[in-house]
Amino acid sequence: MKDALDEKWFRGIAYLLLAATALSCLLPMLHIISLSLSDQQSVVSGRVAFWPQGWSMESYRMLFHGTRILPAFANSLVITFGGILLSMVFTIFAAYPLSRKTMYARRTFTLIIVFTMIFNGGMIPTFLVVKALGLLDSYGAIWFPSLVSAFNMLIMKNYFEQIPEEMEEAAKIDGCGEWRFLTQILLRVSLPVIAMVTLFYAILYWNSFFVVLIYIQDTEKYNLAVLVQQMLQSQSVLQEMNNLRPEDQMATTPEGIRSAGIMVMVIPMLLVYPFLQKYFIKGIMIGAIKG
């Protein structure tokens, strides 16, 4: 009876901690959403908390009409989709041979890759290498230095190792080669881990900020993360906006426009995650069984 009571107390405390953690993540988001959907008077008077006051879409209208949000959004899409494609191809090509027991010195290669998770060349040597390769001011400078994540590769490798060897043997008996087995069989039964790693890379490239500031000099190539950060730091964002009439500038506040910019940046990832959630949970559990 005592054990049952202790278990109830433990579960109650755990639920309280989880609820507090969830609220600490949810409430700031609700506040940003409310600011972006409230009218000027409500925002200036400080009446906006976690629910929009005086519903208005002016902040979004001003954001799309007077800032470079659309070109920055397009740049983010290019960076994200290009990075996902390249990273997934090279991650699969690294994980597959390392998951085969017949590969020579696969343990040595795996340890070398794990070593890069602990030590790396540093920012200045990486910058010099990127500059020597002529990648400055191009998206290649964002893609290639982080082309393969050792963590993602190890998760995919561990998942591939869970695939029964009998499946590969049966495929080879039917005349299936390595390339065909990888593309037509292994990848089809590995959708959970592929979806999970794709989501990891999508978040990495979509939120690219520091590397963009370092390697991209042309402001026309800036992505959403950099644009939103500049909007947050600017104390005169309305004055920097183009093509806005004075009466339009009085229809909203810098806080509302900044909040709208944050939501435009966050919403795509929020829309993608529900479709990958079931694969995400299954992939990270199975891929982490052994290492």
Q: Tell me, what DSSP letter sits at residue 38?
A: B
Mean pLDDT in residue range 34-48: 75
Residue 79 is predicted with a pLDDT of 93
Instruction: With beta carbons less than 8 A apart as the criterion, state whether 219 and 213 touch.
Output: no
Instruction: With beta carbons less than 8 A apart as the criterion, state whether 261 and 231 touch.
Output: yes
**Nearest CA to 201 among 279, 75, 88?**
88
Mean pLDDT in residue range 264-271: 85
At CA 96, angle to CA 91 and CA 97, rounded to 5?
115
What the block records as the tokens of 176 is 């299936």
In the chain, domain spans: 1-56, 57-291
Q: Which of 21-25, 45-49, 146-150, 246-250 has the lowest mean pLDDT?
A: 246-250
Tell me the C-alpha distance between 161 and 181, whole Å. 14
**Nearest CA to 279 among 165, 197, 179?**
197
The pTM for the full model equals 0.81
pLDDT > 90: percent of the chain: 10
Distances (CA, A) of 154 to 37, 161, 247: 43, 10, 56
Residue 240 is predicted with a pLDDT of 56
Residue 92 vs residue 231, higher pLDDT: 92
Residue 75 is predicted with a pLDDT of 92
Given a cut of 60, whether residue 244 has pLDDT beyond it is: no
**Nearest CA to 148 among 84, 231, 241?**
84
- Name the architecture of domain 57-291: Orthogonal Bundle (1.10)
Mean pLDDT in residue range 27-37: 84
